[in-house]
Every structure is written in C-alpha cells, then in structure tokens.
Amino acid sequence: MGFYVKVEPGVRLYVEELNPEGREAILFLHGWPASHRMFEYQFDELFRLGYRCIGVDCRGFGKADKPAGGYDYDRQADDILAVVQALRLENATLLGHSTGGAIAVRYMARHGCGFARLALCAAAAPSLIRRPYFPHGLEREAVEKIIAGTLADRPAMLRDFGDMFFFQYKTQPLMEWFFQMGLEAAGWATAAVAQVWLDEERLFADLGEIRVPTLIMHGIHDRVCHFPLGVAQHEGIACSRLVPFKYSGHGLFYDEREKFNAELARFAAGR
C-alpha cells in the first residue's frame, strides 16, 4: 500500500508499506540516488517472514515531492520524524543505506523516538570524503566531479555510478532497472545531496549519541563508502556489531542478499 505523508507545508514523502499488521516493523531509508524500490529483494523475503516493511522515498527522490531545498541531514531527519509520528511507530528497526544511513544516524542523535534498533548498511557516515582528521573515504574531487556530472549530463553520471555500485556480476536488465531509479530523482536534489556530503561534519559526534543496539553491515569491496567507514561507525557507536560482507560492494543488499536478509531478520527480531 502506497501513500503520502506531509512533512512540511508543500512537501510530502512517499511511503510504501507491506504487511501493516505484521510483527516487527522495519523502516527502510534508501541510498542516493535511488528510492525505496532498491529494497525490493528485502521486501520480498521479509514480508514472507511476517515483518512489517516500510519503505520511504526521501524528498527529491522516487515518488516523493521534489522541493528546491531542504536536503541537509537535519531537515531530512525531521522528515523521518513526521513519518514515524504519522505511522505511530514504536520499538521498530530503522535501516539506512548509504546516504540513508547518514540520515538514520542524524535521526537517532536528533530524535531517536520510535526505534529500538538501528541497522546501517554501507552508510555514508561519519564522512563520505577524506578530511584532515579522517583519512578514509573518497577524495573531495571525486564528489565535485559527481556534482558537475549531475548538472551537465546526469544520465552519463548515473551510468558511471552504477558501474561502481555492485561488486558481483549483474545482468544488463537489472542495471537498467537501477539506472531508471536514479532518473526518477530531481537533478537539483541529486546535486544538493552530493553537496551535503562535502559540507556535513557533525556525524562524528552523532555516532556517540546513539544508545540503541546497532547492526553495521558493510561490503569490503565498497568503492563508494569505503569499508573503513563501517569500522569507524563500529568504533563510534558503543552498542554496535560490525558484520563484514566479503563478497559485496556498495550494493550489499543485492550482492549478498541472502546473507543480508538473514542478518536483518535476526536483528529486527531482537536476536
């Protein structure tokens, strides 16, 4: 069932919910530049196991409204709070992939309500790029190139990004499906979120504010959010567990989807 949740005047997020009466609820936050549909193969399996699956299209992406602004992590965390309140979530699991993981970290530090567990997969935290005090991640110039490519030839940029997303071989139809998801986003939103990667530095402090059990899943071949980011998350979150995915890149939810689904199902059930 799909519906919209108003998060501020003139802005609605699109929400897809499967099995509203299911047992444990999992709210999925997608990565850049996709939508909740990237978790199709998690919804298929977890729905069958009886979980309540809630996918959210963040502002600017998928079927969500696409305003001119509001793409910083504070505003996006506030957007998620509006969804949590609308659905009256309690004791749920919040899962975030890549940029969705960064938003999830900010949400837990800024609000925290509604969720008893946090799952981070290939999360863009505490920093997607290298900084003088953080020697991991992409070079700043690589992100600047993504922004320039978005504004000059977004389809070409998306093709290049898709080529580095997965580690294992993927069929051409699946890559086309992933490419089309990226095209659903607004160009201005795609560029604005990439700019946030350059500007945002408060996630380092946010990690220390997280007090719920946290599952960190990260592909060791990730070319977008390098594996040391997962290590830094584990070091920064007191009650966390890091699970390396030895045969995965950034798209670990598909590269090793059976392992991913099993880990997430156990975690969401409190095991």
Dihedral angle at the C-alpha atoms of 162, 163, 168, 173, nearest 10 degrees? 60
- Coil vs helix vs strand at 17: strand
Output the DSSP codes for 73-123.
HHHHHHHHHHHHHHHT--SEEEEEETHHHHHHHHHHHHT-TTEEEEEEES-
Active site residue 221: no
Question: Which of 98, 127, 240, 248 does the annotation list as catalytic?
Answer: 98
**Chain length of the chain:** 271
Active site residue 127: no
Q: Do the beta carbons of residue 33 and residue 159 sit within 8 Å?
A: no
CA separation (Å) from 224 to 4, 142, 181, 270?
A: 30, 10, 18, 30
Q: What's the angle, vertex CA 142, arms to CA 100 and CA 215, rounded to 5?
A: 30
The sheet carrying 52-57 orders its strands as: 2-8, 11-18, 52-57, 25-29, 92-97, 115-121, 214-219, 240-245
Question: Which of 218, 226, 234, 250 does the annotation list as catalytic?
Answer: 250
Question: Which of 222, 226, 234, 240 does the annotation list as catalytic?
Answer: 222
Active site residue 248: no
Distance, in Å, from the CA atom of 198 to the CA atom of 231, rounded to the nearest integer, reads: 20
Dihedral angle at the C-alpha atoms of 140, 143, 145, 148, nearest 10 degrees? -120
Distance, in Å, from the CA atom of 255 to the CA atom of 248, rounded to the nearest integer, reads: 5
Which are the catalytic amino acids? 98, 222, 250
